Structure 1
Amino acid sequence: MRDAELTRQKILEVAADEIHKQGFTATSLSCILKRTGVSKGALYHHFDNKLELGYAVFEEVYTPQFLEAWRPAVEVEDPISGLIAFFSSYCQQADLDDLMCGCPLNNLCQEMSSVDEGFRVRILSLQQQLNTLIASNLDRVSDKLRDGVDTSQAAYFMVASFHGANNLAKSSRNTELFEKVIAELCSYIKSLST
């Protein structure tokens, strides 16, 4: 990898971390510059402005990470069991600090989708990609699902429930609420099988 590519990657990684911790609006370019040790000129060589940097973080860091986190859960032989294991494992591993920080994508969606059309379009695209990933893998085992399951609707419900559980835990500072919602979500997923 060339130095310019390494510099750009370093900026993206630090910006992704800052946006996750601070939110997009509160993230400062001067903090990113300080943490990366790159010059302002180097940053502006790669990104015209903060908004362009935010879009790049969303497309090149958050979206691939998010999709890759879900992919193993649904691409296994039995996606029902895979999804239950995914949510259960997340529930066991997440502590209050993790839940307080929240999902970087969910945080960014809440902050920016109503104020910036560029983020809204990117968020919608990611939601559609994730929905397709989950629904297509449920379709793959449709003979093992109960009659009448709309896999697309089920996929949206799972993701919405998961994000809702994260938001509930974050706002209440209560991991027990998160665990209860996730347990109910797992019961729902189990009920999709025959």
Structure 2
Amino acid sequence: MPKQERAERTRTAILDAAAAVFDRHGFVGASLSDILAEAGVTKGALYFHFTSKEELAHALVDEQFTIWPLAGDAGKPGLQTVIDLTQTMARNLRENVRVRASVRLVIEQGTFSNPAPQSYLRWIDLIRDQLDHAQERGDVRKELNTSEIANFVVGAFTGLQTAAQVLTDRADLPERVATMWRYVLPSLVPPRRLSRFTPEGS
């Protein structure tokens, strides 16, 4: 096996193992020895790719953004894309351990020695950009502030997924997200356009 391919496989194994351990134990509860055991690699192999547990955690935080192209495939930016994004994230939180670990690590960033709010800000910016397109087309009321809506959506989703994790191990998270949109859409969208949007995702 070529050296570069072997290194990439080792890095992937480390990230998968770290995701599983962070998902189970959180940042503080996870240890590098747990991650090494889960990955089946040596300490030297881990340190070749990541200099610390925190650097490994930051690498995983970016995993949640891998869902963005899936949500944007429709090619028409706007409000339905935001709905689809939240539903895609809801499904990934049930099925994708890297995304689950990523979101847990974002919530626990207060325990990092070098916390970074960029992930929240990045989601807010992405959603605001979609809402700006929607507002230009008349799908979002003109008097509304898209930055405020984007902040609300990110905060509301964070609360929903946390409650769903505690109450149902996220089994009903897509249904909870759809319920959120059924209540929120009438306050954002002019009545004549409301039927264009599907809270369950398109």
- Shorter-chain TM-score bucket reads 0.7 to 0.9
8 A contact 2:127–2:150 mirrored in 1:
yes
Q: 2:189 aligns with which of 174, 187, 193?
A: 193
Give the Å deviation of 1:139.
0.9
8 A contact 1:72–1:82 mirrored in 2:
no
Q: Any idea what SS the aligned residue of 2:27 has?
A: coil
Question: Could you tell me which residue of structure 2 aligns to residue 105 of structure 1?
Answer: 102
Q: Any idea what SS the aligned residue of 2:28 has?
A: coil
Supply the distance in 1 between the matched residues of 2:34 and 2:130 (Cα, whole angstroms): 41
Q: How has the CA–CA distance of structure 1 residues 53 and 165 changed in structure 2, closer, same or farther, with 3 Å as cutoff?
A: same
Supply the distance in 2 between the matched residues of 1:134 and 1:33 (Cα, whole angstroms): 37
Q: How has the CA–CA distance of structure 1 residues 137 and 85 changed in structure 2, closer, same or farther, with 3 Å as cutoff?
A: closer
Q: 1:170 aligns with which of 160, 165, 174?
A: 165
What letter is aligned with 1:25?
V
Q: Within the alignment, does 1:160 sit opposite 2:158 as a pair?
A: no
- CA deviation map 1:146-168 (0-9, x unaligned): 12221111111111111111112
Kindly report which structure 2 residues correspond to 1:80-99, keeping only aligned pairs within 5 A, or say none: 80-87=79-86, 98=94
Give the gaps of 5 or more residues in structure 1. none
Supply the distance in 2 between the matched residues of 1:19 and 1:39 (Cα, whole angstroms): 19
8 A contact 2:71–2:85 mirrored in 1:
yes
Q: Among all aligned residue pairs of Structure 1 and Structure 2, give the percentage whose two residues are the same amino acid.
A: 28
Give the Å deviation of 1:80.
1.9
Q: 1:38 aligns with which of 29, 38, 41?
A: 41
Give the gaps of 5 or more residues in structure 2. 191-202
Supply the distance in 2 between the matched residues of 1:158 and 1:83 (Cα, whole angstroms): 9
Supply the distance in 1 between the matched residues of 2:172 and 2:64 (Cα, whole angstroms): 24
Give the Å deviation of 1:134.
1.0
8 A contact 2:67–2:88 mirrored in 1:
no
Supply the distance in 2 between the matched residues of 1:90 and 1:53 (Cα, whole angstroms): 22
Give the Å deviation of 1:44.
2.1
Supply the distance in 2 between the matched residues of 1:137 and 1:168 (Cα, whole angstroms): 26
Give the Å deviation of 1:171.
2.8
Q: How has the CA–CA distance of structure 1 residues 159 and 71 changed in structure 2, closer, same or farther, with 3 Å as cutoff?
A: farther
Supply the distance in 2 between the matched residues of 1:35 and 1:181 (Cα, whole angstroms): 33
Supply the distance in 2 between the matched residues of 1:177 and 1:2 (Cα, whole angstroms): 37
8 A contact 1:74–1:133 mirrored in 2:
no
Supply the distance in 2 between the matched residues of 1:85 and 1:57 (Cα, whole angstroms): 22
Supply the distance in 1 between the matched residues of 2:86 and 2:186 (Cα, whole angstroms): 12
8 A contact 2:28–2:111 mirrored in 1:
no
Cα-Cα RMSD: 3.2
TM-score (norm 1): 0.74
TM-score (norm 2): 0.72
Kindly report which structure 2 residues correspond to 1:16-165, keeping only aligned pairs within 5 A, or say none: 16-58=19-61, 63=62, 65-73=63-71, 76-77=75-76, 79-87=78-86, 98=94, 103-111=100-108, 113-118=109-114, 120-121=115-116, 124-143=117-136, 144=138, 145-165=140-160
Q: Any idea what SS the aligned residue of 2:29 has?
A: coil
- CA deviation map 1:67-123 (0-9, x unaligned): 2324544574252223334545776x58xx949x99433322332x223242x21xx
